[in-house]
Homo-oligomer: A and B are copies of this chain.
Amino acid sequence: MKPNIVDVASHAGVSKATVSRVINHNPKVNPEIRERVLAAIQELGYQPSAIAQNLATSTTNTIGLILPDITNPYFPALARGIEDAAHRLGYGLFICNTDNDFATEQEYIQKMVHQRVVGIILISSVLKEKNVKDMQQLNIPFVLCDRLLVDSPFDSVTIDNYKAAYEAVLHFIGQGHKDIVHLAGPPNVHSAIERRQAYIDAMRAHQLPPVVANGSFNYDAGYHAMEELLQHMTPTAVFAANDLVALGAMSAIFKKGLRIPEDISVVGCDDILFAQMSYPKLSTISVPAYQIGEKAVELLIDRCKGVNDGETRNIILSHTFIQRES
């Protein structure tokens, strides 16, 4: 049905080895014969099977991406950065959503190994130190985004969450705010922990009492935490663990009849697309998600090609504080 390399070969009157050489741009084939082969390929509408090529070369041109949920507004930019970089380097992209479920994550890692992807970019908050050994036994390169394991043997790329959060709090303090609260993220997620700790440290360093509301990385959590908080006190500034939480908080603030930023200032983190579309536009810490994705692919491919056999690389990209209207 679909023509294969032998069809092309006999159609052009050559051996399949020669056709293979033409396909792979091997320079040492007679130009005249090359033309004949190319013509045959054209006529038959032949396209080599990547499957067969992969089997023969014992490698694929595919990388795997495992992330919590593409529906979470932080991830599309990351995914896009990964995809663009991957395609630019000649790789395809396999994708999976784990919903932060450990079993699902392990299952998908297996699935990718099965598919023989050359490497995996893993964004996980459920991974634990004790899983590292198992993963290493898989003998496949991993790159972690938003590093969650300290001293892990895997390459990673992230931002300095502690520093970013510290600066954000400093920004508030610099403006004269004293009642600054923090709406924290999930207590088991690395980036959330760092941001929370930075907030506490910054407050203490200025003799201000830290007030943190525990929560999750989503809108509803932000809304409810803020609503709850407003029953007891009225802070002048809110530092949210991420933009979704900030947006939820803003909604609760409005609901209470307060103004932003006149009564309460709000700062989020991530700079998701909607940070610039909200009303008022959300001030936030811009996390270069797209670039993190690009960089992750670079690390991964280097690792696959053996460019970097040495020590693990933990890249830290720089964030930016973006002052908008909130």
Q: Which residues of A contact B (CB under 8 A)?
A: 1-2, 45, 47-52, 54-55, 60, 62, 69-71, 73, 75-77, 79-80, 83-84, 87, 92-97, 110-111, 113-116, 137, 139, 219, 244, 247-248, 250-251, 254, 273-274, 276-279
Are A219 and B277 also in contact (CB < 8 A) when A51-B55, A79-B70, A80-B97 are? yes
Contact A251 B273 (CB under 8 A): no
The distance from the CB of A3 to the nearest CB of chain B, in whole angstroms, is 11
CB neighbours of A97 from chain B (8 A): 80, 83-84
The distance from the CB of A125 to the nearest CB of chain B, in whole angstroms, is 18
**Distance in angstroms between the alpha carbons of A94 and B61 in the assembled complex:** 12
Known pairs A71-B76, A75-B76, A94-B94; list 11 more (Cβ under 8 Å): A45-B137, A50-B115, A69-B80, A73-B76, A73-B273, A80-B97, A83-B95, A94-B95, A219-B276, A248-B277, A274-B274
Contact A114 B73 (CB under 8 A): no
**Distance in angstroms between the alpha carbons of A116 and B52 in the assembled complex:** 10
Q: Which of B47, B139, B279 contacts A279 (CB 8 A)?
A: B279
CB neighbours of A254 from chain B (8 A): 279
Show 13 A/B contacts (Cβ-Cβ < 8 Å), sorted by A: A1-B139, A47-B114, A48-B114, A49-B55, A50-B115, A55-B55, A70-B79, A92-B111, A93-B96, A94-B94, A219-B277, A247-B277, A277-B278
**Distance in angstroms between the alpha carbons of A250 and B76 in the assembled complex:** 24
CB neighbours of A111 from chain B (8 A): 92
Are A277 and B279 also in contact (CB < 8 A) when A76-B76, A83-B70, A94-B94 are? no
**Distance in angstroms between the alpha carbons of A95 and B219 in the assembled complex:** 28
CB neighbours of A75 from chain B (8 A): 76
Are A114 and B50 also in contact (CB < 8 A) when A93-B94, A251-B279, A279-B279 are? yes
The distance from the CB of A320 to the nearest CB of chain B, in whole angstroms, is 19
Are A52 and B55 also in contact (CB < 8 A) when A2-B139, A139-B2 are? yes
The distance from the CB of A18 to the nearest CB of chain B, in whole angstroms, is 21
CB neighbours of A80 from chain B (8 A): 69-71, 97
CB neighbours of A51 from chain B (8 A): 51, 54-55, 60, 115-116
CB neighbours of A2 from chain B (8 A): 139
**Distance in angstroms between the alpha carbons of A123 and B77 in the assembled complex:** 19
Beta-carbon nearest neighbor of A52 in chain B:
B55
Are A273 and B71 also in contact (CB < 8 A) when A2-B139, A51-B60, A94-B92 are? yes
CB neighbours of A279 from chain B (8 A): 250-251, 254, 278-279
**Distance in angstroms between the alpha carbons of A87 and B98 in the assembled complex:** 11
CB neighbours of A116 from chain B (8 A): 49-51
